[in-house]
A and B are shown apart, each in its own frame.
Chain A
Amino acid sequence: MNDMLAPAAPLLDPITVEVIGASLSSIVEETGEALIRASYSTNIKERRDCSTALFNAAGYTLCQAEHIPIHLGSFIGIVPHIMKLHPVGDMRPGDVFVGNDAYAGGGTHLPDIVLAEPIFVDGKIAAWTVNLAHHSDFADRGHAHIYQEGLRIPPVRLYREGALQKDIQDLILLNCQVPRERLSDLRAQMAANRVGVRRFQALCAKYGTATVLAAGERLLDYAERKMRAGIAAMPDGTWRFDDLFDSPEIAENLPLSVEVTIKGDSMSLHFEAPDQLRAGLNMTYTALLATAYYVVKSVVDPTILPNSGLARPLTVTARAGSVLNCVHPAAVNGRVQTCQRVSDLILGALAQAVPERVTACSNSCCSVATFIGTRKDDGSIWVYLETMGGGAGARAHKDGLDGVHVHVTNTSNLPVEALEIEYPLTLMRYELVADSGGAGTYRGGMGMRRMYRADADCRVRVDVSRLAGRSSSWGLFGGAAGGHGAIECGPGVVFDHDSAVLKAGQWFALVSPGAGGYGPASARDAETVARDLACGAISPAFAKETYHETCPPA
C-alpha cells in the first residue's frame, strides 16, 4: 500500500514517529470529544456509545480512539465499501459518506451509522476521518432478517463538496423514530469530522505530508512487530474451547467453539457455530474480526497501538452462513451479545496457553434495556437504550472487577439525573448483586441490578444472558461460575421472551450476570472472605456453603 510514497519517505527518528503517533491518537480523541459534546441523544452525549478513527488512503486503520472496540468492525468495513461503490477520482474535498449496512456498507448493525470523509492535502486524499455513532433508534422492530431491523444505507454522499444532500437526509430521517435526535447526532458527527480534517491537515503542515504518512506506515509496522514479538513469547500449540450461548430472544442454546493455534509469531483462530439464526444475534465477519483483534491484543500486549498492523499476524476463520460469519439477509441487531460470548471463548482457549494473562469468564454479555413510548404532549416517539456492566472475570492473582463493562463494549451509564429528566422512567435501584461473583481463590466480579419504574405506559425489550438453567459464566482452574443473569418482574409485568409492556407505575429489574472465579475457593484467604462477608459482597449462607466460613457473632 502507498508504495508511491516509499522512495520519497523521509528518514524518521523514533521520537518523530512517536510524536506523530501520539498526535494521531490525540486527533481521534479530540474528534470523539467534539462528537460527544455537540450531540443531543443520551446515548452519545452521556453514554459515549460512539467511536472515531483515522484511516490511511488505502483504507487501513491508522488509529482508533479508545472508546468501543466492536466499532472497529464497522470501521474496517466502510472505507473499502466506499471505494468499491464510488470512484476515488470523483471524490472532492467536502464529500462526506454515510453508511450503516451490514452487507453493502461494511457495518455490523444498522443503528451504528458511520460518517466517513476523505482528507485532502495538496489536492490528494491523504487519509480518512471516520466516526461512528450508535443512533438509539430503529426500536421495536423485528429480527427475522435485516430488512426488519431498520433502514439499510449503503455508503452514499450525505455532503457533496460541503453541500448537504437534503433529499438523502430527509429519506434517512423519515425512516427514524426519533428524527430530531438523529438530525442533531448527524450534525455532531459532521462536527467531529471537521475537527479530524482540520487537525490532520495541520499535522501535515507541521511535519510535511510525506513525513506524516511515512510515520503512519511505521506505526502499522511497529504494531505488527509488537504483536509478533508477543505471540512468539507464548507457547506453540493448538487449544480448543467450547461454550453455550443463550438469550431470551431464542429458545435453544447454541454450541460455539474455537480452536486457537499459535505457531511461531502468528496466531490463527477458527470458530465453529450453528447456521445463522432468524434472530438478531448473528455476527458479520467484520464483527468477528473486531472481537478477535480486541481479545488477542488484550492478552498478548495491551499496549500495542490500535491500528491495522496488529492484525497482520492473525488469521480468523468461521464458516460463511454460520452465526459467527453471517451472510445476507441475516439479522444482526444484537450481535454484541454473541461478540461478548466469543471474547470469553477465546480467553477460555488461551487460558490453556497463558493462564497468568487471562481472566475467568466475564459476565459474557452486554445487558441491554431498550424502552419505547409516545410522548403525551406532542405524540412524538421516544426511544431510550442503555447497557449495563456486569462482573469481570477473576484474574490469576486478583479478584475480578465488580460491575464494569467488559470486552467489546465500554459505554458509560446514563446518570439517573439525566435519565429521569429526559424519559418517563424512574430508576429505583442500581446496585451490585451479593453472591454473584463466582467463588474462587480470587473471586469473580459481581453483577448488577438496575430496577426501573415506568412513569408512563411504554414497551421494553431486554438483552441478557447466562440465564438460570441455560448456561453459566465459567470459572478457571477450580473457580466456580458466576451468578446468573435475570429479569425480575414487579406485580403485573409479564415478559414474552425478551419484551414486555409496562403500565405507568409498574416496575421490573434487569440483573446482569456475575463472573467466574479463578482457582479453588478453598484456597481463598480467610481474611478476604471475612471482608467480603462484612461488606455484603457475599451472604452468610454463601460464605458457609462456599468457603466454610461461619458468620461472626452479631
Chain B
Amino acid sequence: MAQWRVGVDSGGTFTDVCLFNENDGRIEVWKVSSTPDDPSRGIAQGVEEGMLLVTPDAGASPAAAVSYFGHGTTVATNALIQHRGVKTGLVTTDGFRDLLEIGRQKRPDLYDMQADKPPTLVARDLRHEVPERVRHDGTIDTALDEDAVRRAGRALKDAGVMAIAVSFLYGFIRPEHERRAMEILHEEHPDAFICAGHDVAPEFREYERLSTVVLNAYLGPVMRSYINRLTPRLEALGMTATPHLTQSNGGVIGFSAAADMPVRTVLSGPSTGVVGAQAIGALAGFPDLITFDMGGTSTDVALLKGGVCKMTSEAVVHGYPIKAPMLDIHTVGAGGGSIAFVDVGGLLKVGPRSCGADPGPVCYDRGSTEPATTDANVVLQTLNPDYLLGGRMAVRKDLAKASIARLADQLGLGVMETAQGIISVVTANMARAIRVISIQRGHDPRDYTLMAFGGAGPLHAARLARELDMKRVLVPRNPGILCAMGLLLTDLRADFAATRLMPLAASSAADVSAAFSGLTERAEAWFVHEGISTENRHLTRTADMRYSGQNYELAVPVPEGQVTPAVLDALAVDFAEAHRQRYGFVAEGEAVQLVTLRLEATGRVRKAELRAYPMEAPDASAAITGARKVWFPEAGDFMDTPIYSRDLLKPGNVFTGPAIVEQMDTTTVVLPSMEARVDVYLNLILEVVA
C-alpha cells in the first residue's frame, strides 16, 4: 500500500533521501554519494536503498509504496554556475542580436574599471537576426521572413547547437511569429531544444525576457536529459506516483513541466532548504533566521523575518537576469568541495572550481590531487581523519595533507596555517554572501539566528557566526538532509498568472472575471492532477496594479467570487492605500491600470511532523564517544577535543566547546567559548558564552 512520502535532494556531492510514513508519522533518512555524470543513478540508488530500509519485504518493487515523490535539484544551478549548459543559438528580430550582450547598457561596476560582465551564453556568430516586426498594439509591421528563419535553423544545426532560443520584440503580445519560427526551426533541427519568449516569460521588457529565454534554452537539454534518465529509473523501482520537482518559488511542479521550464528551477534545491528551515525555525521558536546551506559545490543563504522569506518576480542569478517567481536566495559558488589554489598574484583563493563528488576531495583517494575545503578540515581534524558518513567511507588524511603541503610551499607557510587559511578564506566568502542579504538590505545579522545545514554548514557555522558577531547558531537534527525534509514539510503550491493590461474601471469587470476563471480552471486541473481533494484546495488571488504611466506595480489581494464593478471599486481603494503606505502619496484622479492577475493554488497535504521529546538532565557526557586532537587557531595548536555522537545527545543536554559533534550526515564544530544545548526537537543550539 502506498503510504510513504519521499523527498529527495540531489546536490553536487550527496543525494539525500527523506522518507515519511503518512500513517504513523515515522521519519527515516538515507544518504548516498551523488553521481554527477548522471545524477539519476544516485537518486535511484538512494530511493531503492531508503525504501528497502523502511519496507524490507518489498522485493523487486521497493518504490511501490511511494505515495508522493518530491525532488529538489541543483542540476540547473550547477550548469549555470559552471557554464556547463549546451551550445545554444538565438533567433531574434532583425537589428537586435546584440541586445543579449548590451543588456541595459550599464557597466558591471560603477567604479571598478577592471570589472567584467558575465560571459554571454550565446556567441555572437550563433545569434541570427530575421526580418519580422510586430508592433506594440499587436499589428504586424513586417511579416516573418520564413526563409530567413529556415536559413538560420540550418546554420545553427551545422554549427552544432543543441538548443535554440527564439525571442522577438512583442512576442508576448502576439506570439504568432515566435510560434511559426519554432515550427520551422523544429523542421530544420528536430533534435534541438527550442523555446520562445511568449512561453517562458510572457512579460514586457525585451532584454530581461531574452535573457530568461536564452537561459532556458541553455539549460533545457541538460534538464531534459536528466529527467529522461531519472523517470524510467524510478519506474523500474515500481514507483507509480507522479514525480515532482521544486521550483525556485518553493512550489512544486510535475517532471514534464520542469523539463520545459528549467529556468524556473534554478533555485530548486536552495528553495527547498528555505522551506525546510522555515518549518523547523517556526517550531523551535526562532522565526528570524539567516539560513546557511553549505553543500559540496555551492552555498545558499536567505533571510527569513518573522518566518517569511521574500519572494521576487525577477532576479539576477549568477549575473543573468531571470524573470520567474523566486525566493530571495543568494548563492555563491563555493562549498566543501571548492578547490584551494594560489593565484597569479600569490594569494590563496578557494573556489569557484569544485572537485564535485567525483573524484571528490583528495582524501577520498579517487585521483584528485588539488586540495578542497574538505581536505583542510580533515587535516585540521575538525572532520574525522579516518572515515566519513558514519563510517561508511574511509578517508586518507595523508593524501590530503600532502596536497595542502604543496600549497603551503607555494605560499611559504606551514601546513596547518595553510589548512586554517583555507577555512578563513571560505569563512570570509560566506560572510560576504550573508552581508548581501542582511546588511545591504537593512537587516542587522546580529538580530538573527544562523540556521546551518547542508553537509558542510554546521562545520563552518560557528566561525561564520563569530565573523558576523551573530550570537546563536541552530543546527537542526538532520542538517544534511534538511532540503529533502523540506519537501515533506510543505504543501503543494503552484502559481498561475496572466498579464492583461486593462484600465481599473467598471467596464473591465467581465474581462477580469474571465481572466481569473481561466486561471482557476488551470489551477483546478492542477489540483486534479495532483489528486488534491476538494476540501484541501485553497486559492488566493492578487492583482498587480499601478497608476497609468508607472512601470512598476503593487500587488493587491482580490477577494473570492465574481469580480463585479463594486469589487473593482474596492480594489481601487485598496490600491490607493497600498500606494500611500509604500510611497506616501495618492495620485487623486489619476487612472489606475490592472497589469497582471495572479492565482496562487495551495494543495494541503499531510506533512511530516517533528516530535517533541521530554527534557532530560544537562549532563551530556553519556554522548561522548571519544576524543581527538583538533587544530584550533585560537590555540595555534591541536587541542584535546571530546567527540559527541549526535544520535546519543538528549533534549536538555548542555556542553561547552571545544567540541565536535558527529552524525551520519554532518559534523558540527563547537568553538572554545561557545556553549551547546539540545532542545526538545533535538535541534542543537550553539551560543556564545558571554
A interface residues with partner B (beta carbon < 8 Å)? 15, 18-19, 22-23, 25-27, 29-30, 34, 36-40, 45-46, 66, 69, 180-181, 184, 187-188, 190-191, 194-195, 199, 206, 294, 297-299, 302-303, 357-359, 388-389, 392-393, 395, 398, 401-406, 410-413, 415-418, 420-421, 426-432, 448, 451, 534-537
| Chain A residues within an 8 Å CB radius of B107 | 389, 392, 401, 404-406, 410
* A187 adjacent to B111 (CB under 8 Å): no
What's the Cα separation between A353 and B97 when bound, in Å?
Answer: 40
Shortest CB-to-CB span from A412 to chain B, Å, is: 4
Main SS of chain B's interface residues?
Answer: loop
B16 at the interface (CB under 8 A from A): no
Task: Return chain B residues, CB-CB under 8 Å to A428.
Answer: 95
What are 16 A-B pairs with beta-carbon distances under 8 A? A22-B440, A37-B582, A38-B583, A69-B110, A184-B549, A297-B111, A298-B112, A298-B113, A395-B114, A401-B108, A403-B101, A412-B106, A413-B102, A428-B95, A430-B95, A430-B102
Assuming A418-B204, A430-B98, is B112 touching A405 (CB within 8 A)? no
Decide yes or no whether B141 CB sits under 8 A from chain A.
yes
Q: Does B552 contact A45, Cβ atoms closer than 8 Å? A: yes
Q: Are A405 and B106 in contact (CB under 8 A)?
A: yes
Q: Specify which of A46, A302, A412, A417 lies most central, judged by the most chain B CB atoms within 10 Å of its CB.
A: A417
Q: Does B311 contact A (CB under 8 A)?
A: no
Q: Which residues of B contact A420 (CB under 8 A)?
A: 135-136
Other than A187-B587, A430-B95, give 13 A-B pairs with Cβ distance below 8 A.
A19-B446, A22-B439, A30-B442, A37-B583, A187-B583, A194-B583, A393-B113, A398-B116, A402-B102, A417-B204, A431-B95, A535-B125, A537-B124
Interchain CB contact under 8 A, A403 and B111: no
- Give the Cβ gap from A67 to chain B, nearest Cβ, in Å: 8
Q: Evaluate contact between B125 and A194: CB separation under 8 angstroms.
A: no
Of A26, A39, A299, which contacts B442 at CB under 8 A? A26
CB-CB under 8 A from A195, the residues of chain B are 584
B114 pairs with A415, CB closer than 8 A: no
- Which residue of the partner chain, among A22, A181, A299, A413, contacts B435 with CB atoms under 8 Å? A22
Q: Which residue of A lies closest to B590 (CB)?
A: A184
Are A535 and B441 closer than 8 Å at their CB atoms?
Answer: no
A451 / chain B contacts, CB cutoff of 8 Å = 95
Residues of B within 8 A of A188 (CB): 583
CB neighbours of B135 from chain A (8 A): 420, 426
Question: Smallest CB–CB gap between B581 and chain A, Å?
Answer: 11
Judging by beta carbons under 8 Å apart, are B585 and A27 in contact?
no
- The answer, among A26, A199, A393, A395, for a CB contact under 8 Å with B439, is A26
Task: Tell me which residues across on chain B come within 8 A of A302, comparing CB atoms.
Answer: 109, 111-113
The residue on B at minimum CB distance from A359 is B113
Q: Assess whether B169 is in contact with A416, with CB atoms less than 8 Å apart.
A: yes
Beyond A297-B111, A392-B107, A417-B205, is A432–B102 a contact (Cβ under 8 Å)? yes
| The 10 A-B residue pairs with the shortest CB-CB distance in the complex, in nearest-first order | A429-B95, A535-B124, A191-B583, A40-B549, A302-B111, A302-B112, A194-B584, A389-B105, A22-B439, A37-B552
Q: Is the CB of A26 within 8 A of B106?
A: no
B residues whose Cβ falls under 8 Å from a Cβ of A: 94-99, 101-102, 104-114, 116-117, 123-125, 135-136, 141, 169-170, 204-207, 435, 439-442, 444, 446, 469, 547, 549-552, 582-585, 587
Whether the Cβ atoms of B551 and A46 lie closer than 8 Å is yes
Residues of B within 8 A of A393 (CB): 113
Residues of A within 8 A of B439 (CB): 18-19, 22-23, 26
Minimum CB distance partner of A207 in chain B: B444
On whether the beta carbons of B123 and A535 are closer than 8 Å, the reply is: yes
In the complex, what's the smallest C-beta–C-beta distance from A410 to chain B, in angstroms?
5
CA distance A45 to B587 in the complex (A): 16
A415:B111 contact, CB within 8 angstroms:
no
A359 to B113, CA, bound (A): 7
Among A25, A30, A403, chain B packs the most CB atoms within 10 A around the CB of: A403
Judge whether A405 and B95 touch: CB under 8 Å.
Answer: no
What residue in chain B is nearest A537 (Cβ atoms)?
B124
List A contacts of B585 (CB < 8 A): 38, 187, 190-191
Q: How far is the CA of A514 from the CA of B178 in the complex (A)?
A: 34
Name A398's contact: one of B114, B204, B549 (CB within 8 Å).
B114
Residues from chain B with Cβ under 8 Å of A18 in the complex? 439
A421 touching B136 in the complex, CB below 8 Å, given contacts A191-B583, A413-B105, A430-B102: yes
The answer to whether B102 and A37 touch across the interface, beta carbons within 8 angstroms, is no
**Do A417 and B114 form a contact, CB below 8 Å, given A410-B106, A412-B106?**
no
Nearest Cβ on chain A to B155's Cβ, whole angstroms: 13
Q: Residue on A with the closest CB to B99?
A: A430
Query: In the complex, A86 Cα to B441 Cα: how many Å?
Result: 35
In the bound complex, what is the Cα–Cα distance between A19 and B101 (angstroms)? 36
**How far in angstroms is the closest Cβ of chain B from A230?**
12
Cα distance, A388 to B98, chains bound together (Å): 14
With A40-B550, A413-B102 in contact, is A418–B205 under 8 Å at CB?
Answer: yes
Bound CA–CA A428/B136 (angstroms): 14
CB atoms of B207 and A401 under 8 A apart: no
A537 to B549, CA, bound (A): 38
In angstroms, how far is the closest chain A Cβ from the Cβ of B469? 5
Q: Cβ of B442: which chain A residues have Cβ within 8 Å of it?
A: 23, 26-27, 30, 199
Smallest CB–CB gap between B312 and chain A, Å? 13
Chain A residues contacting B204 (CB-CB under 8 Å) are 415, 417-418
CB distance B113 to A392 under 8 Å?
Answer: yes
CB closest chain-A residue, reference B124 = A535
Complex CA gap A45/B444 in Å reads 30
What's the minimum C-beta distance from B207 to chain A, rounded to whole angstroms? 7
Most interface-central of B95, B125, B435 (chain A CB within 10 A): B95
> In the assembled complex, which residues on chain A have CB atoms less than 8 Å from the CB atom of B112?
298, 302-303
* Identity of the chain A residue whose Cβ is nearest the Cβ of B112 in the assembled complex: A302
State whether A39 touches B102 (Cβ < 8 A): no
Given contacts A398-B114, A402-B101, A430-B102, contact A40 B125 (CB under 8 A): no
Kindly report which residue of chain A lies nearest to residue B135, judged by CB atoms: A420
Interface contact A15-B440, CB-CB below 8 Å: no
Determine how close the nearest CB of chain A comes to the CB of B200; give it in whole angstroms.
16
Instruction: Give chain A residues whose Cβ lies under 8 Å from the Cβ of B169.
Output: 416-417
Residue of B nearest to A194 (CB): B584
Residue of B nearest to A534 (CB): B125
Most B CB within 10 A of own CB, among A19, A23, A188, A398: A19
A392 to B98, CA, bound (A): 16
Q: Which of B205, B206, B551 has the most CB of A within 10 A?
A: B551
Assuming the contacts A36-B552, A302-B111, A429-B95, asked whether A415 and B101 have C-beta atoms less than 8 A apart, the reply is no
Chain A residue nearest to B102 (CB atoms) is A403
B206 touches A417 (CB 8 A): yes
Q: Which residues of B contact A398 (CB under 8 A)?
A: 114, 116
**A412 contact set on B, CB distance < 8 A:** 104-106
Instruction: State in angstroms the CA–CA spacing of A412 and B102 once bound together.
Output: 10
Residue of A nearest to B207 (CB): A415
- Assess A66 versus B583: contact at CB under 8 Å? Given A403-B101, A420-B135: no
| B106 contact from A22, A191, A206, A404, Cβ within 8 A | A404
Q: How far is A427 from B549 in the complex, measured between Cα atoms in Å?
A: 20
Cα–Cα, bound, A147→B549 (Å): 31
Determine the chain A residues whose CB is within 8 A of the CB of B446 once the complex forms. Answer: 19
Question: Shortest Cβ distance from A24 into chain B, in angstroms?
Answer: 10
Contact between B587 and A184, CB atoms less than 8 A apart: yes
Residues of B within 8 Å of A402, CB to CB, are 101-102
Of A26, A298, A427, which is within 8 A of B441 by CB?
Answer: A26
Q: Please indicate the chain A residues that have their CB under 8 angstroms from the CB of B94 in the complex.
A: 429
Bound-state CA distance A358–B112 (Å) is 10
CA distance A417 to B444 in the complex (A): 39
**Min CB gap A447→B, angstroms:** 11
Of listed B108, B111, B205, B435, residue having the most chain A CB within 10 A:
B111
Residues of the B chain whose Cβ atoms lie less than 8 Å from the Cβ of A536: 124-125
- Shortest beta-carbon distance, A485 to chain B, in Å? 16
The answer to whether B550 touches A45 (Cβ under 8 A) is yes
Q: Given the complex, which residues of B lie within 8 Å of A535, measured CB to CB?
A: 123-125
Tell me which residues across on chain A come within 8 A of B95, comparing CB atoms.
427-431, 451
Q: Which residues of A contact B440 (CB under 8 A)?
A: 22, 25-26, 29
